[in-house]
Structure 1
Amino acid sequence: MLQAIGLTSAPRRGLPAAVDDLTLEARPGRVTALLGAPGSGKTAALRLMLELDPGRGITYFRGRPLHRIPHPAREVGVLLGDVPGHPARTARGQLRMLCAAAGVSVTRADEVLDAVGLAGLGDRRIGALSPGMDRRLALASALLGDPHALVLDDPAEGLSPREAGWLHELLRAHAARGGTVLYTTTDPREAARNAHRVITIDGGRLVADQGIDEFSRTRLRPRVAVRTPHAARLAAVVSREARVARRSVEVVTEAGGRLSVYGSTCAEIGDTAFRHGLPVHQLADEIGDTGSTAPAEPTEAMEPAVPVEPAGATGREQIIGPAHPISDKGLMGHADLTARANPTGRGGSTRPAAAVSPGGPATPAVSVENGEPGLSRRTVRASSPALPPPIGRRPARGPLHPLRYELRRMFGVRTTLLVMAVVMVLSAGLSVLLARTGQTPLPKMLAAWPSLLPLPPAAVGAGILGALSFGDEFRYPALAVGRGVIPRRPGLLLAKLTVSAGVAVVLALAVVLLSTEALRVVYGPDLIDIPPNSVSLCVGWVGLVVGCAWTGLLAAGIFRVATGGVAAVLAVPVLVAPLVRKALSAGPGSRSTVGLPGRLRELVWPSWPHEMDRWVAAAGRLVAHPVGVALSLSLSVLVCAYLFTGLHGRVRWRSQSGVGPS
């Protein structure tokens, strides 16, 4: 069960709160629709439930708030907007990356792809998916952790009638398995067709909380939809004749030559138009909304029928048209709403052939007669969508899950390999050019670091990859649906630091090896002469590249954009290093640090051997280098700033939302 109590959003200055003291509940085994016009606060309410926005109130998922659930992805599946994935990532790669974050087996990705009908499109990139496929992938992401509750924001937006019907069938199947479903919609008729309970809000406040019987009786009634080039004349004639006959008839003029006539029938409107010589292009019975919280958009007089599948393919009966909710008493279709709203029986009738529970093994046969609104006049065969199999054993979250997530995130797109390839090719070319002048030392020649550049290409490339590690999290927040400020998780931060350091080390060694091979091919093997301090040079080279990667990563996490991380990397040699060099410049009264390793050995217990003095001295020289000091200082400042912003943001969020410590 999902229970939201007293949800109130933090109002912006001079504006009312988007959600004001909203209390509602969605029960298990039922589909609950949150109905409201655009701007009524539906999405803001969902974000408050998921603790994504600050505010007051609390939401319980089976008795626990979200911040106290150890594995949120296994308790609630979320669909907010489009799939928040990188456009260059494949659908299967996106789901496998989320599998690592949710702590489920990688085979779960193929199971949910098959359940949502994307089994053959797993290798297609997210940017190339159609709106319908995009929605299916978003639903697959929500089902990935086998959650108990589904919280969906307008899931049928932009879908064709066939895809919308399939989606609502899947939601009812999830509810039939004991799950909780809460979704938002702006269409009262869609809510009446697909939900068991409808909660209406307006201006962020609760307007009504009704069962489907009460909702359809109070909000829906039959009407006649008319399309004619002489809409004004026909409206005047129908109103005049109704006044003469003393009948209660309401005529609503809509755009595009359309009329909605309440309290009459197709036969009466057709006869009136014929007597006065007015052509009619469309005439059909419909179910209309009597009290929408916003002006109704012009709609077609009759919803298009869904394409029919061959009867022999499935061997089951299906209603052609919008999906229908099923109550405990039996089949409750769109025609039942018509019968309740229109006691006279005008506008069609239906005969249910069977009563089943939602998501059961069979779908009832329904014969549709006399132009039931929104339905075809045929009876055909079809099958209900199948949910992915439940996860039998839920593995506990381990230290490898964030690492697997970060590896799949980094190498799931071509950007990482492309940056590494560009850096290696550019470094090899610079090494050949520097060797031709004959004035560059061998270490700088192998690192491709000319004096004109503030940093070598390898260090800049490592900084870019580090900045993208957090920049992509904010640009494509794949984990934001699971928990508010996901990038502040210590496990994810450690995984990003580890993976970015590993990639930086590989890149640094690859650049040196490729430059060495390029120099050997172009100038011969005589140019390569290994210096005696090669070990300390290699350590300094790796430290520079790893430090740049971490600088870009932490700066992107602070500024929430990848360009901020790259700017911080370039600021180290351009701004910080000159200041450090000026501060460390030796003056007349400067003191020497000769003998520092020996003095440190005396302080350490147990004391290290004398052979370690050489390594300590080498490390001291590296740290004392202006670029090394600047990089160390920058990393220290960024770590402190990252911790401060993370702690400040968490305290501020908790103070505004009224959430206690977890």
Structure 2
Amino acid sequence: MIQAIGLTSTPRRDLPPLVDDLSFEARPGAVTALLGEPGSGKTTALRLMLELEPGRGVTYFRGRPLHRIPYPVREVGVLLGDVPGHPSRTVRSQLRMLCAAAGVPASRADTMLEVVGIAGLRDQRLGSLSLGMERRVGLAAALLADPCTLLLDEPAAGIPPRERGWLHGLLRGHASLGGAVLFTTDDAKEAVRVADRVVSIEAGRLVADQDAAEFARTRLRPRVAVRTPHAARLADVLGREARAAQRAVEIVEESGSRLSVYGSTCAEVGEAAFRNGVLVHQLADETGPTGDTGATGRPVPSARTEPGAADRAAPADRSAPAIPAERAAPAAPADASATEAGDPPAPGNPRPAEARSGRPPSAVRRVGGPLRPLRYELRRVSSTSAPVLTAAVVVAVSAVTSLVLARAGHTPQNRLLAAWPELLPLPPAALGAGLLGALAFGEEYRYPALAADRGTVPRRLGLLAAKLSVGAALALLLGALAVAVDAAALRLVFDSGPLRTPAEWVSPAVSWAGLLIGCSWAGVLASGVFRSATAGLAAVLAVPVMVVPLVRKALDGPSAYPVTGLAARLRGLAWAQWPPEADRLVLGALRVMAQPVGTALVLSLMVLLCAYGFTGLRSRVRW
């Protein structure tokens, strides 16, 4: 059950809101169409329901708002706009990544590709797909976790009319299992053909909420579509016979060879054409909106149907087009063995609630657990070329910079290996780590069921922890690779001249690792707060450019109380006594934090973490 109550978008300057106090319901076991002309507010209404648009109102999915659902992707399947994925990622990689986020087996991706009919495109890049193929990928993503609810924005966009039968059957099959389906369309005939209930809106306001049969009876007009090379002659014949029989018949010439006849039947038009020797190429019953023609009788284009399409357009015919059995009910495969008998009910899909809604328990085996966010993040990172390209650029720039510094001389060995001249705010490896961290967020905000600020707080914290962990690992790998390549380049060009065996390497290593991880985490948190990779990278650059000078001013001058012996005192406070050799690591970390760059990074991370907690973890109830 979907209950939208009082949806109202943020008012625009000198213009009314796109959606104004819109309330309706979409019942389980039924397909509901949200009908309206382009620009009437259909997409905005869906975005308000998914909490992606600022405004007022609330939407309940089986009695809970979206931000209160532990695993939104298992409750709501969404198709909104284009496919939210990296253009270089393959179709299969995209779906397998979403499988990891939804907690379902990776094999589900191949199953859904078969269902939507694009199994042969599994290795195609997302950026190379046509609009129709993109919609199929979006439908597969929406159905991955067998959600109880489907919210689809123009699902038939880009799909040829002759291929829409499988889509209509897919929606009817999902509803027949007890799921609720809500889709938007601007085609009244499609709404009548597919939906059980039609919600009509205009200028963001509710116009009517009717059963499909009642909508067809009150809002659509039956007509006879005729195609003939002698359209003008047939129109004259039909007009003369109607006047002679004193019948009200309206004839509209829609093109040079096409007529629309209102107030007559196929039999009457066919008999009139036969009696007068008029050749007819097509003769079919159609149903169209009541406002297709005005009082002037000017030609108005109407949607065409193939010969024999009247059966599909008739409002009384509620049967779905004939499609294979495996596509008629993709949301619950027949193989119920995927769920073990002893499995507990999956989070987000409790069996009692499913029984109350009339929907049988899901047959998709859940594979959730503590590694689910980490598995998702690893798939997200490994399925694009961004980390590899970033590492290649960083290593090349770092090696060239290190060679230039070695040739100039007077550069400490630590800065030489890090390729960090005094004039640059950060070394190339730190900038690369910050860039990879800034790219961590982005796609989730375009896919509502995966968004980092959706679901319960444990789920959001789990996703953040996974991103921070993977970001730290990538930063350390990038830093180690950059140092190794710099050392190899220096030895190759200058032999062992610039390099000496360091007397103390622990403290520089800890400092280097802390700088890389701090830059990566700053990028992750800033991109999560501002929802922009550019803002994430800007936050990384702001640390040495803006925060470090302020820290230097605050720390300038001698300290009244020295902090010598802090490591030993910390060892005495710890629950488990660490060995004295570990004091070197503690001292190294303290030296890093005592430096201006380290202090600035710590302060920046604390501020960003508080900002992320306020923006991403706070309650999102809107009224």
TM-score normalised by structure 2 residue count: 0.82
Kept in 1: contact 2:222–2:262 (CA 8 A)? yes
1:334 aligns with 2:303: no
Shift in Å, 1:541: 0.7
Aligned AA (1:593): P
Alignment partner for residue 385 of structure 2, among 406, 414, 433?
414
Residue identity in the other structure for 2:223: R
- Deviation of 1:159 after TM superposition, in Å, equals 0.9
1:642 alignment counterpart: 612
Matches within 5 A, 1:2-151: 2-151=2-151
Q: Distance in 1 between matches of 2:485 and 2:371?
A: 32
Q: Does 1:288 align with 2:284?
A: no
Residue number in structure 1 paired with 2:263: 263
CA contact (8 A) 2:510 2:588 kept: no
* Equivalent-residue separation in structure 2 for 1:472 and 1:77 (angstroms): 16
* Distance across 1 between alignment mates of 2:66 and 2:19: 19
Q: Deviations over 1:21-64 (max 9, x none)?
A: 44433333332222222233322333333333354544443344
Matched-pair contact (CA < 8 Å) for 2:172–2:320: yes
Residues 550-576 of structure 1: CA distance to partner in whole angstroms, max 9, x if unpaired?
122222222221111112222222232
In structure 2, the CA distance between the partners of 1:409 and 1:235, relative to structure 1 (3 Å rule), is: same
Which whole-Å CA distance do the structure 2 matches of 1:244 and 1:360 have between them? 44
Structure 1 residue 190, shift from structure 2 partner:
1.3
Distance in 1 separating the partners of 2:78 and 2:403: 53
Alignment of 1:442-591 (within 5 A): 442-474=413-445, 477-478=446-447, 480-482=448-450, 485-486=453-454, 489-525=460-496, 527-586=498-557, 591=560
Confirm or deny: 8 A CA contact 1:224 1:266 kept in the other structure.
yes
Q: Does the 8 A contact of 1:78 with 1:142 survive in 2?
A: yes
> C-alpha displacement at 1:622, in angstroms?
2.2
Match of 2:408 in 1: 437
Residue matched to 1:367: none
> How far does the alpha carbon of each residue in 1:47-89 deviate from its partner, in whole angstroms, 9 at most, with x for none?
3333333545444433444333322222221111221111111
Aligned AA (2:95)? L
Shift in alpha-carbon separation, 1:298–1:420, aligned structure 2, 3 A? farther
Aligned position for 2:353 = none
Residue 387 of structure 1: how far off its partner (Å) = 1.8
Q: What secondary structure, in the 3-state scheme, does the structure 1 residue paired with 2:439 have?
A: helix
Deviation at 1:96, TM superposition (A): 1.3
Structure 1 residues 598 and 228: CA distance shift in structure 2, 3 A: closer
Give the CA deviation at 1:290.
Answer: 3.7
How far 1:499 sits from its partner (Å)?
0.9
Read off the aligned partner of 1:105 and give its amino acid letter. Answer: P
**Residue matched to 2:251:** 251
156-165 or 621-630, larger mean C-alpha shift: 621-630
Shift of 1:262: 0.9
Deviation at 1:149, TM superposition (A): 2.1
Query: What secondary structure does 1:289 align onto?
Result: strand
Are residues 511 and 361 of structure 1, via their aligned partners in 2, closer, same or farther at CA, if it must alter by over 3 Å? Answer: closer
The farther-off stretch of 263-272 and 51-60 is: 263-272
CA RMSD of aligned residues (A): 3.9
Aligned twin of 1:629: 599
**Per-residue Cα deviation, 1:212-252 (whole angstroms, up to 9, x for no partner):** 33333333333234578998998788667745653212234
Seen in structure 2, the aligned counterparts of structure 1 residues 281 and 194 have a Cα distance that, compared at 3 Å, is same
Provide the rounded CA distance (Å) in 2 between the counterparts of 1:573 and 1:117: 52
- Would the aligned equivalents of 1:200 and 1:208 in 2 still touch at CA under 8 Å? yes
1:358-416 Cα deviation digits (max 9, x unpaired): 699989xxxxxxxxxxxxxxxxxxx9656262663543742211111111112211011
How much has 1:13 moved relative to structure 2? 4.8
Change (3 A) 1:517 1:263: same
> Where do residues 207-286 of structure 1 align in structure 2 (5 Å cutoff)?
207-225=207-225, 242-243=242-243, 245-252=245-252, 254=254, 259-264=259-264, 284-286=283-285
Q: How far 1:115 sits from its partner (Å)?
A: 1.5
The code of the aligned residue for 1:485 comes to D
Helix, strand or coil at the partner of 1:105: coil
Alpha-carbon distance in 1 for matches of 2:613, 2:217:
56
| Contact 1:432–1:518 under 8 Å retained in 2 | yes
- Deviations 1:600-625 (CA, angstroms, capped at 9, x unpaired): 45984678776666555443332222
Identity %: 56
- Structure 1 residues 604 and 439 mapped into 2: Cα distance closer, same or farther (>3 Å)? same
Give the partner amino acid of 1:595: T
Could you tell me whether the CA contact under 8 Å between 1:7 and 1:23 is conserved in 2? yes
Aligned to 1:162: 162
The Cα of 1:17 is off from its aligned counterpart by 3.9
2:437–2:520: 8 Å Cα contact kept in structure 1?
yes
Is the contact between residue 67 and residue 454 of structure 2 (CA under 8 Å) also seen in structure 1? no
Q: Any idea what SS the aligned residue of 1:619 has?
A: helix
Residue of structure 2 in register with 1:593 after alignment: 562
**Alpha-carbon distance in 1 for matches of 2:125, 2:579:** 57
Change (3 A) 1:2 1:457: same
Structure 1: runs of 5+ lacking an equivalent: 306-319, 323-332, 341-351, 364-382
Could you tell me how far apart the structure 2 residues matched to 1:614 and 1:336 are? 81
Question: Helix, strand or coil for the counterpart of 1:183?
Answer: strand
Q: Give SS of 1:470's match.
A: coil
The 1:233–1:203 alpha-carbon spacing in structure 2 relative to 1, beyond 3 Å, is farther
One-letter identity of the residue aligned with 1:207: V
Q: Distance in 1 between matches of 2:137 and 2:584?
A: 58
Deviates more, 1:610-619 or 1:246-255: 610-619
Aligned partner letter, 2:453: V
Structure 1's 229 and 452: CA in aligned 2 closer, same or farther, altered over 3 A?
farther
Shift of 1:257: 7.8
Question: How far does residue 537 in structure 1 lie from its aligned partner after superposition?
Answer: 0.4
For the structure 1 residues 42 and 294, does the alpha-carbon distance in structure 2 shift closer, same or farther, using more than 3 Å as the test? farther
Q: Counterpart in 2 of 1:326?
A: none
User: Do structure 1's residue 387 and structure 2's residue 335 form an aligned pair?
Assistant: no
Structure 1 window deviating more from structure 2 (257-266 vs 83-92): it is: 257-266
For the 8 Å contact 1:265–1:285, the answer to whether it is kept is: no
The answer on whether the counterparts of 1:72 and 1:483 sit within 8 Å (CA) in structure 2 is: no
Q: Deviation at 1:134?
A: 0.9
Q: Flag the 1:294–1:408 CA change in 2: closer, same or farther, 3 A.
A: farther
403-412 or 48-57: which moved more?
48-57
- Cα distance in 1 for residues equivalent to 2:610 and 2:527: 14
Contact 2:225 2:286 in 1 (8 A): no
TM-fit CA distance, 1:117: 1.5
Q: Distance in 1 between matches of 2:16 and 2:86?
A: 35
Letter of the structure 2 residue corresponding to residue 288 of structure 1: T
Unaligned runs of 5+ in 2: 347-365
